[in-house]
């Protein structure tokens, strides 16, 4: 009954804060929750709003709906394809070059598919919902920190839109070898057989990674000496009437028709989460309140089996040693300097392994040459033994016939 109450009866808090002078980025904002959140920010006086969309044409249509006839605020449509790492990097580079500040980033773009599509080496839902989401988060973090340093009146926030479905999976891949989680997910059953499980896994990874990032980037209220004045959190908007699951079957659509809340109501949770400040750092929000995520997420976050592997999934450091082309991947735990130290150690180990491998290959080549020489010698010996044997047989046959030089003359001929 609580599901029906929360979805159909309970009203989400109506946003009232002012965003005058602030710049906001919303991904996946040409439709659904992102577009409705954009409407709220325009109503609340945002100075600059970036609609980050995969299809600029649809983005322009959304801009016309959101902005209306008033040229202020400045609503801009920027292209961003979350299925492409190059597009994510290009978008982040444009943010760095063209925006003097970023106060709120709403990473709302998401994907749910019932068939298998690969993107950047991973199943597309994994790429869009998880890898690209946190790649973009990492690339935008410097601009958020810079905004906090330059403008005392703001507390920049990065909010990731997740889902309560993160509690609907037991993560069958939790025992994957360290560093092979995504590969194990890719090698498992495809979304065609169970799309809901795949989608839930990507959402669980989001919640876990937000927790991991919150330990790497401390909020201003932290007692530690090094703090980051940027809040990172995630929000569950609930089941809403949006286009996210437009490819699902009739059973899902029937359930959605019965219990889904309006897209506008769901968008309020996004705006609310992005306004909660340091008290919500690392938190999971739902129904416009900080709540505990699923019990399974808490289990993974702790010291239970798989916890350490999952918590470090998002903080991989990759270095390429130019002279050798060796790629080193290291799991980061706390700081950038520690990341470098771990990566350097692994790089040294890889180079040593390469050298040892070269020596081993040289020894192997020598061994193969020796084996070939021994084999040739054996063949030669067999050949000459056969020749000797043939000669002996020929001599034996000749000794039994007339005229052989070794045949003694008869007595008669000798006396005659």
Which residues are known to be catalytic? Answer: 199, 203
Of 22, 39, 9, 3, the residue nearest 271 (C-alpha): 39
The burial of 226, by beta-carbon neighbours within 10 Å (0-12 exposed, 13-18 middle, 19 or more buried), is given as: exposed
């Amino acid at each position: 009954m609580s599901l029906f109450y929360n979805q159909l009866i309970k009203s989400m808090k109506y946003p009232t804060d002012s965003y005058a002078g602030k710049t906001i980025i919303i991904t996946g904002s040409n439709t659904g929750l992102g577009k409705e959140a954009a409407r709220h920010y325009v109503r609340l006086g945002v100075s600059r709003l970036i609609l980050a969309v995969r299809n600029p044409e649809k983005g322009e249509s959304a801009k016309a709906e959101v902005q209306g006839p008033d040229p202020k605020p400045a609503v801009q449509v920027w292209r961003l394809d979350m299925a492409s790492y190059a597009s994510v990097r290009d978008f982040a580079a444009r943010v760095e070059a063209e925006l003097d500040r970023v106060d709120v980033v709403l990473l709302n773009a998401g994907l749910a598919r019932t068939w298998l599509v690969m993107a950047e080496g991973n199943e597309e839902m994994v790429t869009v919902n998880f890898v690209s989401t946190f790649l973009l988060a990492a690339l935008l973090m410097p601009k958020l920190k810079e905004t906090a340093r330059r403008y005392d009146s703001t507390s920049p926030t990065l909010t990731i839109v997740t889902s309560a479905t993160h509690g609907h999976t037991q993560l069958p891949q939790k025992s994957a070898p360290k560093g092979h989680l995504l590969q194990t997910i890719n090698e498992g059953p495809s979304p065609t057989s169970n799309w809901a499980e795949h989608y839930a896994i990507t959402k669980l990874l989001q919640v876990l990674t937000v927790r991991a990032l919150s330990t790497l980037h401390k909020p201003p209220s932290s007692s530690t000496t090094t703090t980051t004045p940027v809040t990172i959190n995630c929000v569950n908007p609930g089941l809403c009437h949006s286009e996210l699951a437009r490819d699902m079957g009739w059973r899902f659509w029937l359930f959605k028709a019965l219990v889904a809340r309006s897209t506008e109501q769901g968008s309020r949770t996004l705006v609310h989460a992005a306004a909660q400040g340091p008290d919500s750092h690392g938190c999971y929000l739902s129904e416009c309140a900080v709540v505990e995520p699923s019990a399974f997420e808490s289990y993974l976050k702790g010291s239970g089996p798989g916890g350490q592997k999952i918590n470090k999934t998002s903080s991989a450091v990759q270095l390429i040693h130019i002279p050798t082309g060796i790629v080193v991947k290291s799991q980061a735990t706390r700081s950038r300097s520690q990341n470098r130290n771990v990566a350097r150690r692994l790089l040294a180990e890889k180079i040593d392994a390469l050298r040892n491998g070269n020596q081993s290959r040289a020894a192997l080549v020598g061994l193969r040459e020796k084996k070939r020489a021994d084999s040739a010698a054996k063949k030669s010996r067999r050949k000459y033994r056969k020749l000797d044997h043939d000669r002996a047989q020929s001599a034996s046959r000749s000794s039994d016939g007339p005229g052989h030089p070794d045949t003694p003359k008869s007595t008669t001929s000798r006396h005659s």
